Amino acid sequence: MSTRSFQIRSASRLGVDGVEDALHFSSGVNVIVGQPNTGKSRWLETIDLLMGDDGKVEEKLSERVTQHYSSARLVLDIGGEEMAVERKWIEAGVKTKVFVDDQPMSITEYRQLLLDRIGIPSLHYPSGDPYSPRKWPELGWRSLFRHLYRRQEFWSDVADRQFPPEQHACILQFAGVAENLFTREYGELVAKEKRIRDLQSQQESFLRTLHEVSRDILTGEDLGIDITSESVGEAIKNLEGQVAELHRKRAAVIEEMIANMAGPPSDAPDSISRLTKEFAELKETERKHAEELERLDSRLEEIEVLERRVSAETGRLERAQKAGDVLAGLKVTHIPVCDQTVKKPAETTQDCFLCHQPYPTATSNGEPLQRLEFELEQLRGETKEVDEVKTSLTTRLRAHHNAIKNLRARGSQIKDLLTPARLATAAVMPPKVPELDMENGRLVERIDQLRRIESSLSLRARITDMIDVIEREVEVLQKEVALQTARLDFTPSSEALSAGMNEYVSQLVSDGKKMWTQQGRIDLMLKKDSFRLRVNKQKWQSHLGGTMKIYFLLAYHYSLLKLSSQEGSRVPGFVLLDFPATIEGVQVADHENFAIEPFIELCKKPEYSHVQVIAAGSAFKGLTGAKRIKLDHVWS
């Protein structure tokens, strides 16, 4: 077996009056018997609480237990090493703590400790569709313990309140194949494939939305059937040609108007032309300054990153230099092997008295320090250069900011000077000019819209590049996962579990009569993504009655115990059974003995000496081969 054995040596509860109530268990089968209300289930619930249940103590245990007792304690034997576990609910501030060998820890830490001590690896498994957006949950101790503890009120499924994907993951973990299936690489592969799907969906949604918006704001003749960078660029080029033609027509209309005037009253047209031209030049100059500002800002950011790196490297070398100064003077005073004091001989030589090698010359001894000092000087020089470049960039940035400020001030002055002229010109302007200006504005707006669409299309290209990168990573992971799962065979585990269940039911004999005859063969089939339990090739829940369900579920626990002896198994060889009084009207007490006898026979075999079964029931009359723990006190 690969997993360490797990057994309970004792369970105890400390009363508020200081009196301890304890149960002691041995290897093999232990039966807790007693009449109704003697506290059998309460003991098992207490053990469950100490096995990492994170529910409130008041809700987990009955009120009379929490009021009568102040704490509970287990002594566990894991692989031959004892470990004491305690929970306290009277003492303030420690209700949610678990004390392991008197050291407090959180319930989460305690669960992980159990997995580590037993030797069960932690892993995450896909819950349902591996590619669903939900993060893979962790297959923790409590998920597995539900397959080791059969509560009194849950005799209807292989594990109570557990969805099939989690049940499947638990069975694979017990079989020792989950760690080879749900590997880190497999999880990364699924995550990256989900990322590709998300990006592709995002890309499709983006393009669909872009098409719909574009049809609303632009005519189809600008873009053609599909929106591409080429079609958008061609549309912009056509519109810019139309704008240039409008400018030509406007200039011709104004020239014709001036030519037909009786005579210019002054040099006002020349002044307007000059100011208009100056204003346009101002705007062009301002644009160039803004572009240069953007370039300088980017360069300054790069310089600041370089400055931080050089500063960090300088600090590191300076610390190394100081450490060298401190360590250089240290001498060997003791022999490392025997720790005896080094004694220098009386005679002096040119060689080291300890290693008998010539002493290093002053030149060679100082070479590392000289190299370190050289590197520091280089870095200090780089720091100075960086400071100079940073100062120059800051000065140039300030100059460009001032230039833009001055240009905007002059632009405001020109606007003020042109306002009266524009008003006067508007009075005599031909109607054709405003029409051309309106058409020009419409075309310019459409060009701006197309440029925004062109910019948005670059996002599609970036998404495509991201998909390409992730797809290359997926190819590598697919090869790794394929190698890991190439030899993964679920057949041996399926056959072993099926054989164990059928072996159990074949041993069910009462008064010389076999109890499992008409029901048929049990088959447990494990697959990569699911498992199936069948009785006579039918679903067991609908095929079996109340009593047969008890046998079937006990057969499942029996098969897990049998699996615990196999190499590579992750079953700790432990089961906790709380028999109900009745199931579907059938008295369970009449079936307890022969239902537990196959477990007793199993534990007699040397290869199952590590197994422990703890079962609570009302009778177990005449049962031999099991340790009997009788509870006599009836709680009112």
Pairing verdict, β 513-514 and 522-526: unpaired
Same domain, 447 and 500: no
Burial of residue 348, with CB atoms counted within 10 A of its CB: 0-12 exposed, 13-18 middle, 19 or more buried: exposed
Does residue 636 fall inside a structural domain? no
- Residue 584, classed as helix, strand or coil, is coil
Same domain, 120 and 42: yes
Overall average pLDDT of the 297-309 stretch: 86
Burial of residue 434, with CB atoms counted within 10 A of its CB: 0-12 exposed, 13-18 middle, 19 or more buried: exposed
Report the range of poorest mean pLDDT among 136-150, 241-255, 267-281, 620-634. 267-281
Residue 143's pLDDT band (cuts 50, 70, 90): very high
Same domain, 320 and 449: yes
The CATH number of whichever domain residue 48 belongs to comes to 3.40.50.300
Model pLDDT, residue 214: 64
**CA-to-CA distance for 206 and 402, rounded, in angstroms?**
42
Model confidence over 455-487: pLDDT tens digits?
766 666 777 778 788 777 777 776 766 666 666
Residues 6+ apart with CB under 8 A from 286: 404, 407, 408, 411
Question: Among residues 479, 514, 544, which one ends one of the domains?
Answer: 479
Instruction: Please give the residue that has the higher pLDDT: either 499 or 452.
Output: 499
Does residue 337 fall inside a structural domain? no
Does residue 205 fall inside a structural domain? no
Does residue 343 fall inside a structural domain? no
For 473-502, the three-class secondary structure string (H helix, E strand, C coil) is HHHHHHHHHHHHHCCCCCHHHHHHHHHHHH
The yes-or-no verdict on residue 76 having pLDDT over 90 is yes
**CA-to-CA distance for 35 and 617, rounded, in angstroms?**
9
Same domain, 275 and 385: yes
**CA-to-CA distance for 40 and 617, rounded, in angstroms?**
8
Pairing verdict, β 612-617 and 28-33: parallel
Instruction: Please give the residue that has the higher pLDDT: either 482 or 41.
Output: 41
Residue 425's pLDDT band (cuts 50, 70, 90): low
Model pLDDT, residue 363: 47
Residue 372 amino acid letter: L
Model pLDDT, residue 263: 47
Where do we find the tokens 């101790």?
Answer: 141
The CATH number of whichever domain residue 411 belongs to comes to 1.10.287
Same domain, 239 and 165: no
- In sequence order, the β-bridge partners of residue 11 are 23, 74
Same domain, 132 and 248: no
| In contact, 68 and 33? CB cutoff 8 Å | no
DSSP of 93-110, one letter per residue?
T-TTEEEETTEEEEHHHH
Same domain, 460 and 542: no
Model pLDDT, residue 37: 83
Where is mean pLDDT largest: 36-50, 177-191, 340-354? Answer: 36-50
DSSP summary character for residue 575? E
Length of the chain: 636
H/E run at residue 538: strand 538-539
Q: Model's pTM, two decimal places?
A: 0.60
Query: How much is the mean pLDDT over the chain?
Result: 81
Overall average pLDDT of the 270-285 stretch: 77
H/E run at residue 10: strand 6-15
- Residue 534, classed as helix, strand or coil, is strand
For 28-96, the three-class secondary structure string (H helix, E strand, C coil) is EEEEEECCCCCCHHHHHHHHHHHCCCCCCHHHHCCHHHHHHEEEEEEEEEECCEEEEEEEECCCCCCCC
The yes-or-no verdict on residue 488 having pLDDT over 70 is yes
Overall average pLDDT of the 398-422 stretch: 83
Report the range of poorest mean pLDDT among 64-73, 462-471, 584-593. 584-593
Question: Among residues 426, 460, 479, which one ends one of the domains?
Answer: 479
Burial of residue 341, with CB atoms counted within 10 A of its CB: 0-12 exposed, 13-18 middle, 19 or more buried: exposed
Where do we find the tokens 């009836």?
Answer: 634
| In contact, 506 and 490? CB cutoff 8 Å | no
Model confidence over 104-127: pLDDT tens digits?
999 999 999 999 999 998 887 777
Question: Among residues 479, 497, 530, which one ends one of the domains?
Answer: 479
Model pLDDT, residue 553: 92
Model pLDDT, residue 2: 61
Same domain, 377 and 296: yes
Model pLDDT, residue 308: 85
| In contact, 165 and 129? CB cutoff 8 Å | no
Where do we find the tokens 């059938």?
Answer: 586
Model confidence over 198-240: pLDDT tens digits?
777 776 776 666 666 665 555 554 555 566 677 777 777 888 8
Same domain, 385 and 455: yes
Model pLDDT, residue 450: 75
Same domain, 427 and 493: no
Model pLDDT, residue 53: 92
Burial of residue 31, with CB atoms counted within 10 A of its CB: 0-12 exposed, 13-18 middle, 19 or more buried: buried
Q: φ and ψ at 19, to 5 degrees?
A: -90, 130
**CA-to-CA distance for 259 and 580, rounded, in angstroms?**
112
Same domain, 494 and 471: no
The yes-or-no verdict on residue 516 having pLDDT over 70 is yes
Per-residue CA distances from 20 to 85, 170, 617 (Å): 15, 36, 23
Same domain, 501 and 607: yes
Does residue 120 fall inside a structural domain? yes
- Residue 283, classed as helix, strand or coil, is helix
Q: For residue 541, give its domain range.
A: 6-177+489-630
Does residue 204 fall inside a structural domain? no
The count of structural domains within the chain is 2
Report the range of poorest mean pLDDT among 243-257, 405-419, 574-588, 598-612. 574-588
H/E run at residue 576: strand 574-578
H/E run at residue 231: helix 229-260
The yes-or-no verdict on residue 594 having pLDDT over 70 is yes
Does residue 339 fall inside a structural domain? no
Does residue 207 fall inside a structural domain? no
Q: What tokens appear for 278 in the block?
A: 């100056």
- In sequence order, the β-bridge partners of residue 74 are 11, 85
Largest CA distance in the chain: 134
Model confidence over 544-568: pLDDT tens digits?
887 888 889 999 999 999 999 988 8
